[in-house]
């Protein structure tokens, strides 16, 4: 009887549990049914918007995606019922998730537009995210999908660039199938995109000319007008401006067409719209047009692009290791560049005597018979002077002997990596020397074919080159590097070439070096929200993902966005809402939980207990270099700063870096160069002075 009574009591509990499970299952199914539709609708709306961005049409008719093609969407674009092309989308795995690429292809087989990314795009800010820029998608336009073409990869974003290339080729293979082109190899490859020819507006009539300073160069215009003063034709020369930005003022006909049929004065924001991303150059064009309208016609004007306009003759270049020497001439410094063969004899020679007396000293750089005397000779060199240019000839000989006897340049430590970029009138080559810690130890610039006395100085100015040494080899290298006055375009080319070298030196620099750190804090309804943080080498946040599986959907998803999480990227904690990070409206508790979890990974740093100890020792030129040391409780160095105010800049600054001073942190003295501390190349005396000053604090 007792067992039967117990069974009767258990039966209602079993039924209750069954009912609870059924109710929960029905609730989940109901929630899924409610949210599934809106989520799908949002995705469809985003896809339709992407189609509109890559090809204009009245309607987009969904097509059957060929099995195994890999495409995620395919539509037929129609205008007035007529098919004008096809829009296709595909994705590939990038660094932080899927990277979607949407392309439009006309019935003629040429790409009409491209869009990178969708709602799930999560590539690293400042690296892979640069693919979202308009100038990146423009390079796809006009490529024939049957013939193929090249796009340029982004330096420092290898993983994302490969994802873009793979997704684009998947999409284009689908379109080629629809068009029946029969192409089997990939449509796109990485390389230098072919420059599109600039089609200037035809100028008929009297030509008026004007110019104005742009972002990096002088912007010139030529125009014609009718009897009422309205512009009938306009040609723009902005080739010296930033490629893909200011250069677009001369490359995009729609910009110049804004002026046609209008009379001066012109103004940005008034009767002329600036090109996006090229405001400074656009403004320069407007100023140049206004100046041209006011100027009289130039009967000697040669239309841009005619092939007869004035050109700058590129300087000759030398092959091999170049030796340089200088000497005072008649009225200026004469510079000589030369190379030698395996026996030390002169193989090639270039002379810069452009500032000497015209027709006399200048002939030393031009007279072939005079130059031929040097070839095959070894130091000390003696040749016949040029008639009428004895002083300049003597200076040339002195400069040649100085070059031949100059000690070989010391090769910086580290591995050499090379990169090139287009300068003002030639290609600029940069060789970076990078050590195992990815720190730049040296740089060589070849800008010999740039404008003498301007762009050529980028290879010669020691203070300019010293800016690169000691910096981390990362894609943001250009920050903190000052351009040389009068050589902005060449300086920018040096930065681009250095970054190209860095792209080789540091493979996939998107990948943060540190392992992920995880933490959790209370979010909504007393439930935890988790975070996973990857720190950069400087302690800032490189990547942040969240685990909101315990939070309540869909509210918690409001925090899982680039807008909210992106606030943390590139910064150090702690974070304070309303100061350096904003919470998400409607998800306050989840936002605060994420902030608290991240902050737990940034504990407050404890200051060393001991007071600073100071000392000084002789550095460079017999001058003192001072140190201030804070010791930890165990006697190791907790902090070290230096006072190099008496040293010679900029050499002394080479020691004031985390790489050099960091060698002392966490250690006890005495320190011995070459054993437990390395000196800085180029700042030997300052380095030794610092070591001696620190050691004086550890003397027994």
For residue range 589-626, list pLDDT tens digits in order. Answer: 889 999 999 998 877 655 545 678 888 988 887 888 89
Q: Tell me what pLDDT residue 505 has.
A: 55
Q: How confident is the model at residue 659 (pLDDT cuts 50, 70, 90)?
A: confident
CA dist 90 → 156, 167, 295 (Å): 23, 5, 54
> What is the DSSP-derived secondary structure letter of residue 651?
G
Q: What's the pLDDT band for 564 if we cut at 50, 70, 90? A: confident
Concatenating the DSSP letter of every residue in 445-463 gives EE-TTS-TTTGGGGGT-HH
Q: For residue 316, what pLDDT is reported? A: 46
Supply the DSSP string of 512-533, one letter for each residue: -SSPPEEEEEE-GGG-EEEEEE
Between residues 223 and 536, the one the model is more confident about: 223
By CB atoms closer than 10 A (0-12, 13-18, 19+), residue 674 is: exposed
Domain spanning 323-405, CATH class: alpha beta
Q: Say what the pLDDT of residue 14 is.
A: 58
Q: How many whole angstroms separate alpha carbon 563 and alpha carbon 584?
A: 9
How far apart CA 638 and CA 631 sit, in angstroms, is: 5
C-beta of residue 413 within 8 angstroms of C-beta of residue 336: no
Residues 6+ apart with CB under 8 A from 562: 121, 122
Q: Lowest-pLDDT range, 154-158, 188-192, 326-330?
A: 154-158
CATH number of 208-294: 3.90.1010
- CATH number of the domain at 415-505, please? 3.90.1010.10
Q: Is the dihedral of CA 317, 318, 320, 325 positive or negative?
A: negative
Which CATH topology does 517-599 take?
Sufe protein. Chain: A (3.90.1010)
Identical fold for domains 208-294 and 517-599, yes or no, is yes
Residues 303-318: what's their mean pLDDT?
Answer: 50
The pLDDT > 70 percentage for the chain reads: 84
Domain ranges, ordered by start, for the chain = 50-190, 208-294, 323-405, 415-505, 517-599, 613-696
pLDDT higher than threshold 60 for residue 209: yes
Please determine, for residue 510, whether its predicted confidence score (pLDDT) is greater than 50.
no
Flag whether pLDDT at 515 surpasses 80: no
pLDDT at 609: 55
What residues does 222 pair with on adjacent strands?
A: 209, 235
């Amino acid at each position: 009887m007792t067992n039967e009574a117990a069974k009767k009591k258990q039966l209602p509990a079993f039924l209750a549990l069954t009912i609870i499970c059924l109710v929960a299952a029905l609730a989940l199914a109901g929630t899924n049914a409610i949210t599934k539709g809106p989520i799908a609708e949002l995705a469809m709306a985003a896809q339709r918007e992407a189609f509109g961005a890559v090809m204009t049409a009245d309607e987009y008719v969904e097509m059957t995606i060929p099995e195994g093609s890999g495409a995620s969407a395919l539509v037929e674009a129609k205008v007035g019922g007529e098919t004008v092309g096809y829009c296709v989308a595909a994705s590939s795995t990038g660094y932080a998730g899927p990277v979607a690429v949407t392309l439009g292809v006309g019935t003629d087989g040429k790409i009409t537009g491209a869009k990178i990314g969708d709602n799930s795009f999560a590539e690293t800010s400042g690296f892979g995210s640069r693919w979202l820029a308009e100038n990146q998608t423009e390079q796809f336009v006009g490529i024939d999908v049957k013939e193929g073409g090249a796009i340029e990869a982004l330096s420092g974003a290898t993983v994302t660039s490969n994802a873009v290339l793979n997704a684009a080729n998947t999409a284009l293979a689908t379109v080629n199938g629809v068009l029946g082109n029969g192409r089997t190899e990939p449509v796109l490859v990485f390389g230098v995109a072919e420059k599109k020819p600039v089609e200037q507006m035809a100028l008929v009539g009297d030509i008026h000319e004007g110019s104005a300073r742009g972002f990096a160069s002088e912007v010139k215009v030529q125009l014609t007008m009718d009897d009422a003063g309205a512009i009938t034709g306009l040609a723009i020369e902005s080739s010296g401006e930033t490629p893909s930005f200011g250069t677009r003022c001369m490359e995009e006909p729609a910009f110049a067409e804004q002026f046609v049929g209008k009379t001066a004065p012109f103004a940005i924001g008034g009767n002329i719209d600036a090109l996006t991303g090229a405001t400074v150059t656009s403004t320069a064009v407007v100023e140049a047009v206004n100046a041209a309208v006011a100027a009289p016609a130039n009967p000697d004007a040669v239309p841009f692009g005619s092939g007869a306009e004035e050109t700058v003759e590129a300087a000759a270049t030398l092959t091999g290791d170049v030796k340089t020497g200088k000497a005072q001439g008649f009225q200026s410094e004469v510079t000589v560049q030369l190379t030698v063969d395996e026996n030390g004899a002169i193989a090639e020679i270039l002379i810069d005597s452009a500032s000497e007396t015209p027709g006399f000293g200048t002939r030393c750089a031009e007279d072939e018979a005079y130059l031929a005397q040097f070839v095959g000779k070894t130091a000390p060199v003696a040749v016949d002077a040029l008639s009428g240019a004895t002083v300049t000839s003597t200076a040339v000989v002195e400069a040649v002997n100085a070059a031949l006897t100059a000690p070989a340049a010391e090769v910086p430590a580290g591995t050499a990596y090379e990169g090139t970029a287009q300068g003002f009138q030639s290609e600029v080559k940069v060789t970076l020397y990078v050590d195992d810690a990815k720190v730049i130890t040296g740089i060589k610039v070849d800008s010999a074919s740039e404008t003498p006395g301007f762009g050529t100085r980028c290879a010669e100015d020691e203070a300019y080159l010293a800016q690169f040494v000691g910096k981390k080899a990362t894609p943001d290298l250009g920050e903190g590097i000052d351009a040389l006055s009068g050589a902005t375009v060449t300086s920018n080319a040096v930065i681009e070439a250095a970054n190209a070298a860095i792209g080789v030196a540091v493979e996939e620099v998107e990948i943060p070096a540190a392992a992920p750190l995880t933490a959790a804090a209370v979010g909504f309804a007393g439930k935890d929200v988790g975070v996973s943080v990857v720190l950069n080498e400087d302690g800032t946040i490189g990547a942040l993902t969240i685990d909101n599986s315990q939070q309540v959907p869909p509210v918690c998803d409001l925090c899982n966005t680039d807008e909210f999480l992106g606030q943390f990227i590139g910064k150090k904690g702690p974070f304070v809402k309303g100061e350096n990070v904003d919470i998400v409206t409607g998800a306050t508790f989840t936002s605060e939980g994420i902030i608290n979890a991240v902050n737990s990974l940034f504990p407050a740093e404890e200051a060393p207990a001991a007071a600073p100890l100071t000392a000084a020792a002789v550095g460079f030129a017999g001058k003192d270099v001072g140190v201030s040391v804070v010791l930890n409780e165990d006697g190791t160095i907790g902090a070290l700063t230096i006072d190099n105010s008496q040293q010679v800049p900029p050499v002394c600054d080479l020691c004031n870096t985390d790489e050099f001073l960091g060698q002392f942190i966490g250690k006890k003295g005495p320190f011995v160069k070459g054993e437990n501390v390395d000196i800085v190349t180029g700042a030997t005396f300052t380095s030794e002075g610092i070591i001696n000053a620190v050691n004086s604090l550890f003397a027994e």
